[in-house]
């Protein structure tokens, strides 16, 4: 095995997404190593040929021989890892991540990072309602959006490298946004929708309705099966943007309620026509 | 079985659902006739062998030769039709409907109806985001719930007849609820979800986000493409139950918002665990 080469990629955090990166990139011929606190995840990945090598601790040789490091950790753990282990990076190493929130992560990490390595942040918008490397899937990125969120500290080369990584994964659309644009967008299209699904599921002990639910209820609540440890952290990391989006939605919902209470049929129809017209853009 | 002898079926209102009844029942060998104000719907149905005969006006012979009549009309039009044309029914005729709200329709119609015919209300929980007999599909009921909502005025024989109709259509599950139970349930699982989808679509001019939306946003807003004429009437016909459900949801959404604002991570996680646990019942 050519341990020292341009193609040594280290994945830190071998869960659903980290494992899916491993599968997709190994399939393309890269040498993939992984570090994950769970020995069972490393064992599974080795047994299933998802990685070429792995450790349940921070193996110094493994980190220092990586040309690129992909972090698939929760925001807080990610920062701690960088603080404690960045001395091990090979000079010139390229770092990226998969974190679903950006402003609260990107600036802190870039501020503390050694000047001879570069961290270019990214977010592949892919996920499942299942977890762990056991459920990872190299095809998960096939219809996903992939967003690179550089700051002033990033070089054009790193942005290109990161976009290229998204293309290698097979993502459908590669975009570049600022961390703030990303967080506002993700607050709306992902976090707000999860809040709605949770509230719909918890507002009423609806289990006796299971026999009457059609597709619409099931569609709206599919994402209410949620990893509470991860999502509570993501919500809090994006608190301001998410609160703004929640307020926008709650205000509009109250308007709809007022139209109904006032028997304002034309007002209701106007809202329905607007939603119909807008939704058409998404098909 | 009595149903077998009643082989002349008249469908009043030949849209998506009326047309789907026609297809499913004609396929089983019944003689299907239809009345719809749109001549083009009748023409289409005749040309495509969906019905055996049809009229764009109330043909007296057609009505009086029907053993069973299925109404697939908006609530207001349904009541008017009965008031104006009930003199034409054959004595002993069995009437049913597909209306998505019950209390506001069922009692009014039963109160005005001739004593020698029986109206047994039903609601097949099937639908599409498209309209018209042109989009009708006899398979639409295959995974649907079918709910019979009798009152004190209904005979056990009519309830059985109506359940049998649901089974003939191929519905997955046949239930009996009171009109009030039906309306409370439908307020939650269907109308509230549509209100949420509409508000999510109209709270923000989100068309620029089309490139970033993943499955969750698309799932939550699929039903925001909505027939404003029909749904505004259904919402208003079920106003009290729907307002109750909207308030339950809005209050719970506000609780979630307060937890986020207060950085109450454990409180957020508790809600997420509850939603995850409840949602598991629906899979």
pLDDT at A272: 97
Q: Does A8 touch chain B (CB under 8 A)?
A: no
What residues contact A252, with CB distance under 8 A and at least 6 apart?
Answer: B199, B202, B203
Among A202, A249, A263, A264, the strongest candidate for a mutation testing the B interface, having the largest count of B CBs within 10 A, is A202
B192–A200: do the CB atoms touch at under 8 Å?
Answer: yes
Q: Does B164 touch chain A (CB under 8 A)?
A: no
Determine contact, residues B126/B141, Cβ cutoff 8 Å. yes
- Block residue for tokens 């493994």: A62
Q: Which residue of B has its CA nearest to A229?
A: B269
Per-residue pLDDT, averaged over B233-255, amounts to: 97
Residues of chain A positioned with their CB less than 8 A from the CB of B188: 204, 206, 209
What is the percent of chain B with per-residue pLDDT over 90, rounded to a whole number? 86
- Block residue for tokens 């597909």: B98
Check residues A147 and A131 and name the one with the higher pLDDT.
A147
Kindly give the pairing relationship between strand A145-148 and strand A122-124: antiparallel
Among A189, A233, A276, beta carbon nearest to B212 = A189
Check residues B282 and B1 and name the one with the higher pLDDT.
B282
Residues of chain A positioned with their CB less than 8 A from the CB of B243: 257, 260-261
Distance from CA of A212 to the nearest CA of B (A): 6
Phi, psi of A12 (to 5 degrees): -105, 115
Per-residue pLDDT, averaged over B67-81, amounts to: 97
Determine contact, residues B10/B34, Cβ cutoff 8 Å. yes
Q: Which residue of A has its CA nearest to B243?
A: A257
Per-residue pLDDT, averaged over B232-255, amounts to: 97
Among A74, A102, A196, A230, the strongest candidate for a mutation testing the B interface, having the largest count of B CBs within 10 A, is A196
Query: CA angle at residue B131 from A220 to B282, to 5 degrees?
Result: 25
Query: In the predicted model, is pLDDT for residue B2 greater than 70?
Result: no
Phi-psi region of B17 (alpha: psi -120 to 50; beta: other; left: phi over 0): alpha
Check residues B216 and B5 and name the one with the higher pLDDT.
B216
Taken in order A245, A247, A250, A255, is the CA torsion positive or negative?
negative
Q: How far apart are CA B234 and CA B150, in angstroms?
A: 19
Query: In the predicted model, is pLDDT for residue B271 greater than 60?
Result: yes
Q: In the predicted model, what is the mean pLDDT of chain B?
A: 94
Query: In the predicted model, is pLDDT for residue B176 greater than 70?
Result: yes
Of the listed ranges B4-13, B28-37, B185-194, the least confidently predicted one is B4-13
Alpha-carbon Rg of chain A, whole angstroms? 21
- Residue A32 to residues A27, A55, A92, A118, Cα–Cα distance (Å): 10, 12, 18, 20
pLDDT band at A6 (very low <50, low <70, confident <90, very high): low
- Strand ranges, E, within chain B: 8-12, 31-35, 53-55, 68-71, 94-97, 118-119, 122-124, 145-148, 173-176
pLDDT, tens only, B96-121: 999 999 999 999 999 999 999 999 99
What pairs with residue A9 in β-bridges? Answer: A32, A68
3-state helix, strand, coil in chain B (%, to 5): 55, 10, 30
- Residue B171 to residues A240, B62, B147, B255, Cα–Cα distance (Å): 47, 28, 10, 38
């Amino acid at each position: 095995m050519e341990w020292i080469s341009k193609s040594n990629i280290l994945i830190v955090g071998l869960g659903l997404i980290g494992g899916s990166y491993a599968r997709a990139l190994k399939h393309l011929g890269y040498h993939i190593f992984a570090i994950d606190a769970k020995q069972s995840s490393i064992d599974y990945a080795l047994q299933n040929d998802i990685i070429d090598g792995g450790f349940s601790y921070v193996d110094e040789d493994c980190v220092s021989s990586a040309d690129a490091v992909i972090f698939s950790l929760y925001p807080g753990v990610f920062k701690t890892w960088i603080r404690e282990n960045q001395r091990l990076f090979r000079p010139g190493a390229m770092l990226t991540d998969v974190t679903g929130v950006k402003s609260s992560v990107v600036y802190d990490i870039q501020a503390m990072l050694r000047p001879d390595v570069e961290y270019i942040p990214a977010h592949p918008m892919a996920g499942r309602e299942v977890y762990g490397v056991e459920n990872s899937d190299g095809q998960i990125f096939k219809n996903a959006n992939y967003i690179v969120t550089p700051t002033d500290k990033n070089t054009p080369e790193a942005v290109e490298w990161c976009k290229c990584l998204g293309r290698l994964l097979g993502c459908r659309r590669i975009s570049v946004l600022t961390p703030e644009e990303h967080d506002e967008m993700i607050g709306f299209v992902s976090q707000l929708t999860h809040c709605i699904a949770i509230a719909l599921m918890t507002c009423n002990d609806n289990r006796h309705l299971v026999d009457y639910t059609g597709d619409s209820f099931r569609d709206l609540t599919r994402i209410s099966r949620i990893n509470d440890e991860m999502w509570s952290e993501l919500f809090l990391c994006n608190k301001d943007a998410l609160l703004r989006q929640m307020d926008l939605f709650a205000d509009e919902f109250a308007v709809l309620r007022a139209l109904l209470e006032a028997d304002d049929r034309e007002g209701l129809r106007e809202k329905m026509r607007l939603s119909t017209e807008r939704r058409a853009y998404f098909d």
